Amino acid sequence: MSSETKKILTTDGIPLEVSLKKAEKKNKIKAFLLVAPLLLFLVITYIFPIGDMFLRSVDDKMITNMLPKTFKAMEKWENLEELPPEEVYRSFYEDYKLLAENQQHGKLGQRLNKEKNGFNTITKKLFRQIKRKKIDESASIKEQINKLHKRWRNVEYWLAIKRTAPPYTVAKYLKGMDMYFDSDGSITQVDEDRRIHRILWLRTLEIAFFVTLFSFFMGYPIAHLLATLPMKYSNLLMICVLLPFWTSLLVRTASWMILLQQQGLVNDFFVMIGLVGDDNRPEMMYNKVGTYVAMTQILLPFMVLPLYSVMKTISPSLMRAGKSLGGTPFVAFWKVYFPLTIPGIGAGCLLVFILAIGYYITPALVGGASGTLISNQIAFHMKTTLDWSFASAMGLMLLTGVLVIYWIYNKLVGVDNIKLG
């Protein structure tokens, strides 16, 4: 069958497929040229940075480049339970001396200290000895270094150096999940009282989930009203929905702070109508309540708009048909209307969830101690500790999380079902 179709020729004897390709080539080029600027823009501002982020997050070349001779010598270190042979000591001494001459030794100390506490002290000690030229290069380097500090006589420290040999590491990712490589190189969890990242991940997911849920329950009726009201009212309502969009994020967040604080308008109103006493005004800010309220309001349009665009296409006669066939208004809604809005629900929830998972200004301002989310941690490492590779690792973990959610969604509902407008 397929071989027969391939043989179809045009009147001039050119195979039909070739002719078709030729005819469509111009259109394809035109289409490509139209998207080319955006494609270029995306490659420069999106693909490259993500690639760079990934490289940064796994990069561990610093020590590899600082101690080339040492790592080469370490390849011959076989019995890992004993201290390395003289050759390793000598290579390390030579590498270190070179670093000291280039004023690079401090970086090495810091980096090794991250790998195992106590390195900073003993490398500084070695540096002073080298500076004062007290190391006799003709004698055994191993003995001289071992004499400097008892830690140099501990095989753990040498193993720590050996662990830093590979140019790439997943240590940052493990750190993001509160895990690390222990001295024998196996993955271990950090002590229970220091597992901050896991709490942040769970809190981020929890807040994103509830914000999505609240936006859905508030956005669905609004979208329905928007889609069914006569034009002049629905336009007004649409402006009300979009108004927050046109206001700066910071202004909106600040106004929520004015409304929700303990001496704020909402509390004043509660006191005025006698709902609560003046001396026990509820905390509505600097906790999760504040975060939920402010984020739901800010993200609501992202739920309403996809829902609205889907509902707009549902013919009102379908609900009428459902009722005329004997369905109560609820049955008609649940069996007919609701299933038809699922593409909009999917799009809205996905949009709100993905945006919520990466939010950080609003929760940081109104959420108090509980408002620190994973994005705040990323920003903290970007700006304060300058541990960019860790920030990159967490950013990528967040991105992967979003992609996983997208994948699950695709499996459950199907991405073709998403309708944004």
Partner 1 sequence: MSKNPEFVKFDKVDKSYDGKVLVVKDLQLDIAEGEFITMLGPSGSGKTTCLMMLAGFETPTHGEILLDGNIISNIPPHKRGIGMVFQNYALFPHMTVYENLAFPLRVRKVEKDEIDKKVDKALSMVSLNGFETRMPAQLSGGQQQRVAVARALVFDPAVVLMDEPLGALDKNLRESMQYEIKHIHESIGVTVVYVTHDQSEALTMSNRIAVFNDGKVQQLSNPAELYEKPVNSFVAEFIGENNTFNGEVIDIDKDKCKVKLTNSEILANPISVKSKGEKTTVSLRPERALINPTDKMDNMFTGKIEEVIYHGDHTRVRLNLLGSSEFILKVPNSTSNLELKVSQDINIGWNSVDARALDPK
Contacts with partner 1, residue ranges (CB under 8 A): 315, 317-318, 320-329, 331-332, 335-336, 339-340
Q: How far is the CB of 342 from partner 1 (least distance, A)?
A: 9
Q: How far is the CB of 236 from partner 1 (least distance, A)?
A: 20
Contact 287, 370 (CB under 8 A): yes
Q: How far is CA 96 from CA 65, 140, 175, 403, in A?
A: 12, 16, 28, 44
- Type of residue found at 368: G
Q: How far is the CB of 319 from partner 1 (least distance, A)?
A: 9
Q: How far is the CB of 226 from partner 1 (least distance, A)?
A: 21
Q: How far is the CB of 5 from partner 1 (least distance, A)?
A: 25
The radius of gyration computed from the CA coordinates of the chain, to the nearest angstrom, equals 32
Q: How far is the CB of 419 from partner 1 (least distance, A)?
A: 13
Contact 416, 302 (CB under 8 A): no
Of 8 and 325, which CB lies nearer to partner 1 in the complex structure? 325
Contact 222, 304 (CB under 8 A): yes
The H-or-E segment that residue 180 falls in is strand 179-181
Of 37 and 339, which CB lies nearer to partner 1 in the complex structure? 339
Of 51 and 329, which CB lies nearer to partner 1 in the complex structure? 329
Closest CA relative to residue 112, chosen from 102, 101, 99: 99
Of 65 and 317, which CB lies nearer to partner 1 in the complex structure? 317
| Token pair 């299933």 in the structure block, residue | 339
Contact 376, 335 (CB under 8 A): no
Q: Residue 97 class from Cβ within 10 Å (0-12 exposed, 13-18 middle, 19+ buried)?
A: middle
Closest CA relative to residue 240, chosen from 222, 259, 216: 222
Tokens for 176, please give them.
Answer: 């993001």
Q: How does DSSP assign 184-219, residue by residue? A: TS-EEEPPGGG-HHHHHHHHHHHHHHHHHHHHHHHH
Of 37 and 326, which CB lies nearer to partner 1 in the complex structure? 326
Bridge partners, residue 15, by sequence: 9
Of 240 and 321, which CB lies nearer to partner 1 in the complex structure? 321
Tokens for 86, please give them.
Answer: 């003289």
Around Cβ 95, how many Cβ atoms within 10 Å?
A: 21
Q: How far is the CB of 233 from partner 1 (least distance, A)?
A: 15
Q: How far is the CB of 333 from partner 1 (least distance, A)?
A: 12
| Token pair 């909106």 in the structure block, residue | 252
Q: How far is the CB of 7 from partner 1 (least distance, A)?
A: 32
What 3-state DSSP class applies to 168? strand
Of 213 and 342, which CB lies nearer to partner 1 in the complex structure? 342
Tokens for 346, please give them.
Answer: 């999917």
**Distance of alpha carbon 316 from alpha carbon 201, whole angstroms:** 43
**Distance of alpha carbon 289 from alpha carbon 282, whole angstroms:** 11
- Under DSSP, the state recorded for 43 is I
Q: How far is the CB of 331 from partner 1 (least distance, A)?
A: 6
Of 124 and 335, which CB lies nearer to partner 1 in the complex structure? 335
Backbone angles phi, psi at 189, to 5 degrees: -85, 150
Of 269 and 338, which CB lies nearer to partner 1 in the complex structure? 338
Q: How far is the CB of 193 from partner 1 (least distance, A)?
A: 52
Of 343 and 401, which CB lies nearer to partner 1 in the complex structure? 343
Of 48 and 334, which CB lies nearer to partner 1 in the complex structure? 334
